[in-house]
Amino acid sequence: MNQSLFFIYDDRILPDNRFRKVIGEHQRFSEIIYKRKSFCTRTRSVLDAIEEIKGFYHIKSASDLEPLIARRSTINSSARIIHMYSYALITDKDEFTLLVKKLYYSQHNVVIMNDDIPLLLFFADAESYLTYLNADDNESKANLLKYLDINSMHTGSLYNISDYYSFIRFLSGGFDARYFNTLNGTDYTVVKKSENKKKIKMEYAFYHLLPEEMRSWFVLPYNYTESADWASYTMERYHMADMAIRWTHNAIPSARIAAFLEKAMAFINQRNKKDVNAEQAAGMRKMLYLDKVQERIVLLKSCREFPLIEAYIKQGSRYSGIDEVFERYNKLYQKAQKKFKQPDYLCIGHGDFCFSNILYDDDTGIMRLIDPKGALTEADLWTDPYYDIAKLSHSVCGLYDLITSGQYIIELNHSMQFELLLNFNNREYKKLFYSSLERNGFHCGLTRLYEASLFLSMLPLHIDNPHKVFAFLLIALQIIEEVESEWTI
């Protein structure tokens, strides 16, 4: 069979005003970033692997269709067309690929609908499609579909997010899947299942080890199940977007962030505490902010990509290499331990209190935390009071979520040094965050210093993307220099 198959990605229908709360202004469905990739990029990655598809057209306006219509005389009449709307998300790559292959051999025009909304149209010949395109309005198109003998088909590989509440349901089932083989459930529950049984058990046990007065902050895990190959637990599904999605789409006005920070600090202040001696407190800090950084730098050096990263540090920064970066950080750390009074207690912490693990609704003020670091014993719950604060800072001040979603550029400046550029002005957010820290008894300089340790510690964990690793390193250097100049440590 030699017919060409063309794919039309129709991005003309825009999200309605309700979506602004999550994705901000002037966003198309294709531009929504989900788990570090835009919906368009995700769609293209699936299509690129389907050999039957010979052409891809991204349609953002009626004028974008004109070149295609103009090809009426050059497109073979037997060419086949798939017209899919950008609010249709591919949720099962294998099933969608099989669907495309079936359509390729179909002799009939096909429509896939959801609640009377078309997700995908297939035309078995180009003439039928061009006739459909030339219809004047939606009503005439609907009548034309009958005339063109359209058959209905069902697939479980597409999800319709054209409705705001369907979009929120989709997001609320999308907890960070880096460690999980499957994330599924119903409209009311989410099931996490993984071969990494220890991590699943630690997350499940964490909640049940918590003091009762802290449990209301977290999503309840239940129905823990373990087999020889996997473990799972179930959680209630909260129909709320996490803060990282809203942040990366610049959808949180500064007036709203103040209320969020007040709620976040309520969690920080309500964490259970236990007094320890100065040696124990210092030991916890050393483990979290110094030893871990050293261990991760050793791990980074063992990566085959490290020589290239080291060369970039030498050639495009003021540092001779990663060792000098660590020494500069270590010098600040040692000064800070002598200069500032540190907390003489430990607290029960979330362990990864960043935007992607915080569900928050502006209208109700409800906040729920997901994906804690985990614990198997009561002793595993305790941490340094600044650790959760530093995690929050690396989202607000360090713009961690922007980097993980790929919204950055690294370029050479006039001094021939690498510079990290992000199209996001967080100046007002930082002021609000600093003010919140000071009101609640946390030192801004210490917070940023410990935040720098987080960026340095995560370098080897993202080595699959060396470009991102270098971006994290540049952020760490910015923080170190900021702490030196602004906080006189």
Predicted pLDDT at 2: 63
> Whole-angstrom Cα distance, residue 99 to residue 89?
14
Topology adopted by domain 176-236:
Phosphorylase Kinase; domain 1 (3.30.200)
Which single residue is written with the structure tokens 């510690």?
457
Nearest to 406, CA basis, from 315, 329, 472: 472
The separation between CA 22 and the C-alpha centre of its own chain, rounded to angstroms, equals: 13
> Whole-angstrom Cα distance, residue 115 to residue 441?
53
Can you give the pTM of this predicted structure?
0.84
Which range, of 168-182, 234-248, 382-396, averages the lowest pLDDT? 168-182
* Token pair of 388 as six digits: 């959760």
Mean pLDDT of 50-56: 86
The pLDDT of residue 176 is above 50: no
**Domains of the chain: which residue ranges?**
5-160, 176-236, 243-486
Fold matches, 5-160 and 176-236: no
Predicted pLDDT at 207: 95
The pLDDT of residue 62 is above 90: no
The better pLDDT of the pair 372, 145 is held by: 372
Give me the phi and psi of 447, to 5 degrees please.
-60, -45
Mean pLDDT of 149-178: 75
- The mean predicted confidence, pLDDT, of the chain is 88
pLDDT digits (tens, 9 = 90+) for 341-369: 899 999 999 999 999 999 998 888 999 99
Nearest to 369, CA basis, from 244, 247, 219, 241: 219
> Whole-angstrom Cα distance, residue 16 to residue 163?
8
CB 158 within 8 A of CB 91: yes
Q: Which CATH architecture has domain 243-486?
A: Alpha-Beta Complex (3.90)
> Whole-angstrom Cα distance, residue 213 to residue 446?
28
The pLDDT of residue 150 is above 70: no
Nearest to 221, CA basis, from 167, 185, 247: 185
pLDDT digits (tens, 9 = 90+) for 464-486: 899 999 999 999 999 999 999 88
The better pLDDT of the pair 168, 438 is held by: 438
* Token pair of 61 as six digits: 């306006």
* pLDDT band at 136; cut points 50, 70, 90: low
* pLDDT band at 455; cut points 50, 70, 90: very high
Nearest to 407, CA basis, from 77, 81, 32, 55: 32
Predicted pLDDT at 1: 54
Topology adopted by domain 5-160:
Spore Coat Polysaccharide Biosynthesis Protein SpsA; Chain A (3.90.550)
